Amino acid sequence: MPVASFQSDVYEAAVLALAEARKPAVILFPHSVDTWGYAPAVAMRGGFGCATDVIDVKYDGGDLVAVRAVYAEKLHMEVDFPERETVVLTVRTNVFKPTEADGSPAVSEFAAPQTQARTEHITYIEPEQTGDVDISQAEYMLSVGRGVGEEENVEQFKELADSLGFTLGCSRPIADNGWLPKSRQVGQSGKTVVKCKVYVAMGISGSVQHMAGMKHVPSIIAINKDAEASIFTIAKYGVVGDMFEIAEELRGHFS
Ligand SMILES: Cc1cc2nc3c(=O)[nH]c(=O)nc-3n(C[C@H](O)[C@H](O)[C@H](O)COP(=O)(O)OP(=O)(O)OC[C@H]3O[C@@H](n4cnc5c(N)ncnc54)[C@H](O)[C@@H]3O)c2cc1C
């Protein structure tokens, strides 16, 4: 379907027509500001079940159950869809691991109805680059969390990151305290996705919101004095210890 720019009503009509023709059990969208707008409209018009920002999916006795995080991620809620033959889900990005492909999907053509768009794309406005650095472009990152203790301690980790050729990032409390600019914050409400190859997390516990921004990084090295910290569940390499002592060791090796 040739759509030059995003027009939610055109997508909505096309997906609805496709769903009514093919009657799928599930329609999956990536959760984004766009799909958040039109996926529930598709569900409402088609009389389908719907859940947005889904973080897990399972089957309970053959019935689909979607899991959503609610109350600022403090609770997980299970949603079922009794008597709905089709269910629309918008799934959170970076939460589901890609499965190994073991076949070729059947590709068929579908002529979407021509719909008159009620909205018009006028222009795209680049967000103002307010930060000192764009951490989403960093190849190697070293991030500090609340374990850093005090504002004056941040500088030594900045120097360490610089000496290793790493870009300094942080968890939200550090940005909230104003110890580093917000542009350095990794996670759900910061730079959501960092694309680096190596991510060193120092004094970061591993909240779901922080991990949303970095858990896909291939090499995560976690340094935390608490062996039970959640960050170790996703780390490739973990060091249980004091971040200041380990920073000192690293300085010794690389100076
Ligand atoms: C809607 C919402 C959005 C959010 N978005 C984000 C986000 O984008 N990014 C984000 O990071 N958070 C975000 N948060 C906050 C998140 O829930 C956590 O509060 C935050 O990530 C915790 O940061 P932290 O790991 O630095 O601190 P803490 O959870 O306090 O962990 C500090 C860790 O440091 C360790 N430590 C202490 N001293 C040392 C030491 N000397 N050496 C080694 N380890 C030490 C401790 O064992 C502990 O594990 C969000 C929260 C909400 C509700």
Q: Is the CB of 212 under 6 A from ligand 1?
A: no
**Within-domain flag for 109:** no
The domain that contains 34 carries what CATH number? 3.40.50.620
Nearest CA to ligand 1 atom 48: 205
Q: Is residue 98 part of a domain?
A: no
Beta bridge partners of 168: 142
- Are residue 152 and residue 47 in the same domain, yes or no? no
Write the pLDDT tens digit of every residue in 43-63: 999 999 999 999 999 999 989
Residues 6+ apart with CB under 8 A from 254: 163, 164
Q: Is 180 in the pocket of ligand 1 (CB under 6 A)?
A: no
Q: Which of 64, 91, 118 is the last residue of a domain?
A: 91
Does one domain contain both 236 and 179? yes
Strand intervals (E) in 94-146: 140-144
Whether residue 155 is found in the same domain as residue 238: yes
Tell me the pTM.
0.66
What is the rounded average pLDDT for all residues in the chain? Answer: 89
| Domain-located, residue 59 | yes
Strand segments (E) across 61-155: 63-70, 75-80, 87-91, 140-144
Structure confidence by residue, pLDDT tens digits, 126-147: 766 666 788 988 999 999 999 9
With contact defined as beta carbons under 8 Å apart, do 145 and 202 qualify? yes
- pLDDT score recorded for residue 2: 37
Closest CA to ligand 1's atom 27: 146
> Is residue 142 a contact partner of residue 157, using CB atoms and an 8 Å limit?
yes
Ligand 1 contact via 167 beta carbon (within 6 Å): no
Q: Looking at the 3D structure of the chain, how many domains does it have?
A: 2
pLDDT for 4: 40
- Same domain for 53 and 149, yes or no, is no
Q: Which atom of ligand 1 is nearest to the CA of 192?
A: 8
Ligand 1 atom nearest 149 alpha carbon = 38
- Chain-centroid distance of CA 69 in Å reads 13
The CATH number that applies at residue 139 is 3.40.50.1220
Please indicate, yes or no, if residue 113 is contained in any of the structural domains.
no
Q: Assess whether 86 and 139 both reside in one domain.
A: no
Q: Would you say residue 80 lies in a domain? A: yes
Last residue of a domain, one of 68, 91, 114: 91
Question: φ, ψ for residue 112 (rounded to 5)?
Answer: -75, 145
Both 139 and 248 in one domain: the answer is: yes
Q: How far is the CA of 179 from the centre of ligand 1 (A)?
A: 14
pLDDT for position 72: 66
Is residue 87 located within the same domain as residue 141? no
Instruction: Specify if 206 maps to a domain.
Output: yes
- Same domain for 171 and 75: no
**Residue 85 and residue 179 in one domain:** no
Claim to verify: residue 38 and residue 139 sit in the same structural domain: no
Q: How far is the CA of 255 from the centre of ligand 1 (A)?
A: 29
- Kindly state whether residues 62 and 153 are assigned to the same domain: no
Which residue range forms the structural domain that includes residue 175? 135-254
Given 31, 57, 91, the domain boundary residue is 91
239 and 159 inside one domain? yes
Q: What pLDDT is stored for residue 181 in this prediction?
A: 93
Which regions of the chain are under pLDDT 50? Answer: 1-5
Residue 104 maps to a domain: no
Residue 1 lies in a domain: no
Ligand 1 proximity of 177 Cβ (cutoff 6 Å): no
